[in-house]
Structure 1
């Protein structure tokens, strides 16, 4: 492996100390608020998801340091990046929750990237001779701060990660900044943001939480699909690593976990109201989507052929049906009026 070790031994010592401090802080701060509020089960799902993302981002940062020190192979670094990305899928696209968590979304992931801004900014960043620290990275464009920036370093042919100690240190700084932001998200979920809502307000908030995330996931298909016969595969979320479809499957699994909320979520509420057929239809739709999801091809590759495009369209239609159930039928049943959200009109 053609990797240079970090040139200053003290840097490693300081970085290790910083990791230990972060771990100690996490142990103190990551405690879910316990309430008897109707939102508690959903809040608990979110708390666990945020804590998991915090853990995976921290592990990615530690692996990046080990990689720069020549202690692990690139394959391990890629594995840990995918683990962090998978954990992020549980929180991605949400427009409801603690403001301090939501405001980190762009810092964690810049998408859609319509003009390859990430590629251009990352080439400029890694061409610089400046030694970048996590605080320096936090002051830069969001395009070089998060998961997409690290994906570029791991998978783009323009990346010189494997041949430059300077670039490797830059990647480590990006991963540390990501870990810091993930910790902020996790800490923000230590309190239940919904404890002041009554049943009607909570129903509205809960449906919005699900539909916002579902709408965002559907955009991850519709943007690269674009017009029939004129797809834009480079608009796919993780086209460099060819992992867009696996990301979306994890979105679906995360939404199902929110919907069920350990037997105390929307599914249970519908069944308590006697809407068993609707509840079964939604549960069956989740199962259908998961069972038929293509796992052996990337979205980038699928969009290169007519058959692949039809496969993607079929999955999109299944998500659209799920959207109808939640956005329309559940909302009507609970008397909730759904307005425009952040993804409408894009």
Structure 2
């Protein structure tokens, strides 16, 4: 009887972890990857119909929006798979050089979807497409040009990557998280490990947004670096920071088993700070007033991270572990 009681107590202790993991998967992660697969597929179809830059702007933004809901999750299939979907930061300009090299050589790899997946990750994914269709150096092409063929190759490859990520999460990795602690599960030995792994994604995402998405363009007061902003060519820098913050909050909410009033209020302040920024590409931050507004947004994102740590991390005894974006 004592043995059965001990087992029952252990099961009860694991229930909040299992429930939080299930909610995170069912309410946020799996639907997010499914939506990204649909949006990336629509982008590929749009490019097949008309691969000119201007016609791809709307489906590009739709696909990028969908990606931002799950793009900061660097776990399981996404630990390496996300790199070729979103190769950023790129401080050395590898994407520009990779695209220029393919175009100058009229490399036949763009005509073969199977082999295009082997090219440098700098020439693949959302940021390669952003440069191709939004940078004036690349975007002035017509139907029949090599760059049009390249746009089709990038979008087809992106759609294939999105499908692989969705399938990998749904069929392989989600079951490992759900069945943490089960016999034969060497990835997650306890439900608490699965919970901690997902919690780490929340904290790492907010750290990445504050330190990289906002910190890189801020640079220093003497030397701001607006051209280091994420997706500035397509005017998505602010939108990406806001979507990433909202996604981190949504994942935290799914993990939690109680209301998060402090985190909810912190997210509202993030949105308020974002609404005060006038240039969505952060290209105006050489102006002290614009810089201050971006710094306020950065502080608000960090405050959101602190709120989530207090309401989830401290209460559940969780600390963030290693994340694939650490050290970027």
After TM superposition, the score normalised by the length of structure 2 is: 0.83
Q: Does 1:224 align with 2:217?
A: yes
- Aligned partner of 1:15 in structure 2 is none
Q: Does 1:90 align with 2:83?
A: no
Q: Does 1:312 align with 2:294?
A: yes
CA contact (8 A) 2:32 2:69 kept: yes
More displaced stretch, 328-337 vs 307-316: 328-337
Q: Does 1:325 align with 2:291?
A: no
RMSD: 2.1
- Aligned partner of 1:178 in structure 2 is 158
Q: Which residue among 95, 103, 107 is the counterpart of 1:118? A: 95
Cα deviations across residues 316-340 of structure 1 (Å, max 9, x unaligned)?
0001111112235532221123345
Equivalences, count: 293
- Aligned partner of 2:113 in structure 1 is 134
The answer for unaligned runs of 5 or more in structure 2 is 1-16, 181-189
Shift of 1:40: 1.4
Shift of 1:121: 1.3
**SS at the partner of 1:159?**
helix
**SS at the partner of 1:106?**
coil
After TM superposition, the structure 1 = structure 2 runs for residues 67-106 of structure 1, keeping only pairs within 5 Å, are 67-68=50-51, 74-96=53-75, 99-106=76-83
Shift of 1:161: 4.9
- Aligned partner of 2:202 in structure 1 is 210
- Aligned partner of 1:187 in structure 2 is 167
After TM superposition, the structure 1 = structure 2 runs for residues 137-286 of structure 1, keeping only pairs within 5 Å, are 137-159=116-138, 161-163=140-142, 164-191=144-171, 192=174, 193-197=176-180, 198-218=190-210, 219-261=212-254, 265-266=255-256, 269-271=257-259, 279-286=260-267
Shift of 1:344: 4.4
Q: Does 1:297 align with 2:279?
A: yes
Cα deviations across residues 12-61 of structure 1 (Å, max 9, x unaligned)?
xxxxxxxxxxxxxxxxxxxxxxxx94221110111100011001111111
More displaced stretch, 47-56 vs 86-95: 86-95
CA contact (8 A) 1:289 1:315 kept: yes
**SS at the partner of 2:50?**
helix
After TM superposition, the score normalised by the length of structure 1 is: 0.78
